[in-house]
Amino acid sequence: MTQVFDVERVLAQLTLEEKASLTSGSDFWHTQGVERAGVPAVMVTDGPHGLRKQAEDADHLGLGNSVPATCFPTAAALGSSWDVELVTRVGEALGRETRANDVAVLLGPGVNIKRTPLCGRNFEYVSEDPVVAGELGTAIVRGIQSQGVGTSLKHFAANNQESDRMRVSAEVDERTLREIYLPAFERVVTGAQPWTVMCAYNKVNGTYASENHWLLTEILRDEWAFEGLVVSDWGAVHDRVPALAAGLDLQMPAAGPRPDEEVVAAVRDGSLDEAVLDVAARRVLHLVARSLPGVEADDSFDVDAHHELAREAAAAGSVLLKNDGGLLPLTSAESVAVIGEFARTPRYQGAGSSQVNPTRLDAPLDALRATGGAFPFAAGFTIAGGPAGDDQALLTDAVAVARDARTVVAFLGLPGPDESEGYDRPRLGLPDNQVATLRAIAEVNPRVVVVLANGSAVSVTDWRDLAPAILETWLGGQAGGSAVADLLLGVRTPSGRLTETIPHRIEDTPAFGNFPGEAGVVRYGEGVLVGYRWYDTRAMDVAYPFGHGLSYTTFGYSDVAATADGTDVAVTATITNTGSVAGAEVVQVYVRDPEASVLRPTRELKAFAKVTLEPGESREVSFTLGARDLSYWHPGLHRWVVEGGEFVIEVGASSRDLRGSVSVDVEGEPLWGELTVMSTIEEWFAHPVGGPLLQSALVPPADMGPLDETMQAMILQMPAKVIADFGLVGFDREALDALVAKAAAG
């Protein structure tokens, strides 16, 4: 039986030096223990799509001697499932493996927003939309932590690029932070209480995240009521004393004795209150206490069952982008050739700290051949980091194999070195040698299915007309090869949907021109228009829109309805499987404010549900939207506000495939702010108290004729102080000051 670990008793025993030591790791992966007081060190290790526990002599940064673990699909693929229940089950499996390996905390998930498809770490992130990222992030945290181990929600906040990530300042206005980059973290914290939150490397508006009191204390703890521990990303702390004062609790990894000594000195000279250190040390001790039952358990996990779950998840997260003429699924009678080195040498996970040593690995070619077909193969091209070869000879062989087949399945994708932690992608498109191979085989065989393997969106515009069918599999984990075979042969029906828009060109993307920044600063100039919010609001053509995904069946939408009760909106719709096979539809609910007083996106996703239906089956789905779903962050009032009036509720299969919309009238709230001498005449007139006061005070000279429309419009935009200083309207600065006081008094 595990002995009870009494946090307060232990804390009271610790010396100042021991408390300071608790706020640092003891090595690369362990917290600091205090043997004298019975405080053990506990281990944390990399995730988020598989356990990366390394041996003591491992290299820490690479794959090294990691223990075998199930490599589940990366977040890009899991997110594309839009399946909360499935992601929860994946989380439970990750938790079991973490516990079985005596690890206290699995470092993940990552819920940073995909601001640009070129971010090198996008494969670890869920979506360009905060609702999807937040809901699925909550699901995986709940799943992992249900097994008695912790998670580390990361990277808080505004870590949306790898270029200069350890120094760059993300310059983001508060409204954009509140509406785009913080809500996914908020959903996970308030919905699942992760044991830890990991601060980002970068600065946010000039202050390192590790020293940002507004983020770590005012937002995370005071507003969201976070109860756990804030840990740094590895190497993100530059001065632990101000970091502790800001709300950081644990610096990782160990950085030698100097930071501990600086903390002790700061307490002794009075520049750091010892109570602040006590709070951080207490949180570390709480983490140790809640970890002990899990790390002391003698558990194991079912390797085969987890592999099958990884296979299910990989299939669910694959997105059928195109299927002209119903080319897919393939029939067993067909003569099918397989082209592409990725079929033999699969790309199944990203590079960097999340690399997993899989318990096994299914190659797509092997999985297809295991079904009994011949599936003749040609490599077609070389891939960076893969087997060497002569591309021209490989292309010639591929053309010969393709010419003799009825259908060709071409496995294309991004080379591993293109996507990694630590640097951003060099291009949006596929490598030239792969596109050349596709063009060559399409010339001799028009029946081409392209299977993509990549961690983030790639441009398809230049070559998609060559392939009647395109299946996006992202980085599907160790069982991705078998999952692809299941989808190609119709064993499973595709049900994934895009959680990120696929643009035509990098020049079309929202952050183009403001990424990756310069001189240590990256400006988020696109504001709230991120991802589909940008493309839809600007009515830009895209290759494939957010939420898009095809199936081997079809779905009908009917009886779309919405009713408002105050600021609550009830939404219902009936979904019917109108095809001949079972399948799953992702029902998406968007909100549009047609006449907002600030710039709002044309539509914003606020709810979704995945519905599995048999042929001919119908089901009503329902959603309840609240005030927050209708709100925007008011830049002047610094709070969420609901602007009353008409809202349009849209229900559909993507942000561009809307099957029904309903207008509702919503009760709003007063949006006027505090009046000052610098408030404009228009702002004064809009104020219920200040408007009548100013109207009565305005006494223009008798010889002043009526103002034309242009002059009236100009005056409305002028601050009241300027009008008073002109001395033309019957009141001066003293009178204006009196009006300000009366307006404030109500």
More confident residue, 484 or 61: 484
CB 327 within 8 A of CB 469: yes
Q: Which of helix, strand or coil describes residue 590?
A: strand
Count of helix runs (H) and strand runs (E) in the chain: 24, 26
Predicted structure pTM score:
0.95
Cis before 48 (ω within 30): yes
3-state secondary structure of 523: strand
- The conformation of residue 426, written as its DSSP 8-state character, comes to S
* Token duo for residue 168: 């760059």
Task: Name which residue leads in pLDDT, 447 or 65.
Answer: 447
With helix as H, strand as E and coil as C, how does 496-517 read?
CCCCCCECCCHHHCCCCCCCCC
d(C-alpha 550, C-alpha 495), whole Å:
7
In whole numbers, what is the pLDDT of the chain averaged over residues? Answer: 94
Sequence length of the chain is: 746
203-241 burial: b if 16+ Cβ within 10 Å, else e: bbbeebbbbbebbbbebbbeebebebbbbbbbebbbebb
CB-CB neighbours of 302 under 10 Å: 12
- State how far the alpha carbon of 289 is from the alpha carbons of 24, 293, 295, 707, in Å: 17, 8, 11, 74
> Is 80 exceeded by the pLDDT of residue 50?
yes
- Tokens representing 549 are 């995904």
Residue whose structure tokens are 């078998």: 482
The Cα 226–Cα 157 span in angstroms is: 15
What are 148-195's pLDDT values in tens digits?
999 999 999 999 999 999 999 999 999 999 999 999 999 999 999 999
Nearest C-alpha neighbor of 100 from the set 284, 359, 310, 311: 359
Q: Which two tokens stand for residue 648?
A: 């349009």
Structural tokens at position 510: 């929202």
Q: Taking a C-beta distance cutoff of 8 angstroms, is the pair 141, 98 a contact?
A: no
Residues 385-423: pLDDT tens digits? 777 788 899 999 999 999 999 999 999 999 999 999 999
- Write out pLDDT tens, residues 190-244: 999 999 999 999 999 999 999 999 999 999 999 999 999 999 999 999 999 999 9
Q: What percent of the chain has pLDDT over 70?
A: 97
Q: What's the 3-state SS for 55-87? A: CCCCCCCCCCCCCEECCCCCHHHHHHCCCHHHH
* 580-637: pLDDT as tens digits: 999 999 999 999 999 998 999 999 999 999 999 999 999 999 999 999 999 999 988 8
What pLDDT sits at residue 709? 86
pLDDT beyond 60 at 61: no
* Residue, of 387 and 11, whose pLDDT is higher: 11
Sheet of 377-378: strand order equals 319-323, 469-472, 448-453, 407-413, 336-339, 377-378
How many other CB atoms are there within 10 angstroms of residue 103's CB atom?
Answer: 26
Q: Cis ω on the peptide bond leading into residue 329 (within 30° of 0)?
A: yes
Q: What are 397's two structure tokens? A: 């062989």
* Domains observed in the chain: 1-36+228-298 (no CATH), 306-537 (3.40.50.1700), 555-666 (2.60.40.10), 681-745 (no CATH)
**% of the chain exceeding 90 in pLDDT:** 84
Whether 690 and 675 have beta carbons less than 8 Å apart is answered as yes
Confidence of residue 299 (pLDDT cuts 50, 70, 90): confident
- pLDDT tens per residue across span 681-705: 888 888 989 999 888 888 776 666 6
672 CB neighbour count, 10 Å cutoff? 17
Find tokens 């899990």 and name the residue.
294
The secondary element (H helix, E strand) that includes residue 132 is helix 130-145
Q: Give the pLDDT mean for 371-384.
A: 94
Sign, CA torsion 577/579/584/588: negative
Q: Which residues contact 410 (CB under 8 A, 6 or more apart)?
A: 339, 340, 380, 437, 438, 441, 448, 449, 450, 451, 467
Residue type at 575 in one-letter notation: I
pLDDT for position 296 = 76
Cβ count near 617 (within 10 Å): 12
Q: Are 659 and 678 in contact (CB under 8 A)?
A: no
CB–CB of 382/310 below 8 Å? Answer: no
Active-site residue numbers? Answer: 233
Report how far residue 470's alpha carbon sits from residue 92's, in angstroms, rounded to the nearest whole number.
32
Q: Residue 106, Cα to own-chain centre: how many angstroms?
A: 18
Cα dihedral 39/41/46/50 (nearest 10): -80
60 pLDDT exceeds 60?
A: no
CB–CB of 416/384 below 8 Å? yes
The string of pLDDT tens digits covering residues 68-119 is 999 999 999 999 999 999 999 999 999 999 999 999 999 999 999 999 999 9
- Quick check: helix, strand or coil at residue 167? coil
Least confident of 7-11, 157-161, 294-298: 294-298
Residue 62, pLDDT > 80, answer no
pLDDT for position 57: 53
Q: Centre a 10 Å sphere on the Cβ of residue 702 and count the other Cβ atoms it contains.
A: 5
Q: Which of 64-68, 143-147, 318-322 is least confident?
A: 64-68
Predicted local confidence at residue 306, as pLDDT:
98
pLDDT, tens digit (0-9, with 9 covering 90-100), for 334-365: 799 999 999 999 999 998 777 999 999 999 99
d(C-alpha 103, C-alpha 97), whole Å: 9
Q: Tokens standing for 587?
A: 């029902």
Select from 437, 364, 354 the least CA-distant residue to 400.
Answer: 437
3-state secondary structure 224-286: CCCCCEEEECCCCCCCHHHHHHHCCCEECCCCCCHHHHHHHHHHHCCCCCHHHHHHHHHHHHH
- Between CA 519 and CA 483 the distance in angstroms is 45
Q: pLDDT digits over 15-35, tens only?
A: 999 999 999 999 999 999 999
Residue 627, token pair as written in the block = 């005030």
> Of 344, 386, 400, 399, which is closest to residue 369 (Cα–Cα)?
344
Q: How far is CA 729 from CA 201, 678, 687, in A?
A: 55, 16, 19
Helix (H, G, I), strand (E, B), or coil: what is residue 716?
A: helix
Q: How many CB atoms lie within 10 A of CB 727?
A: 11
**Which residues sit opposite 661 in a β-bridge?**
650
Q: What is the pLDDT of residue 1?
A: 42
Measured over the CA atoms of residue 175, residue 177, residue 181 and residue 186, the dihedral's sign is negative
Q: What pLDDT is recorded for position 532? A: 98
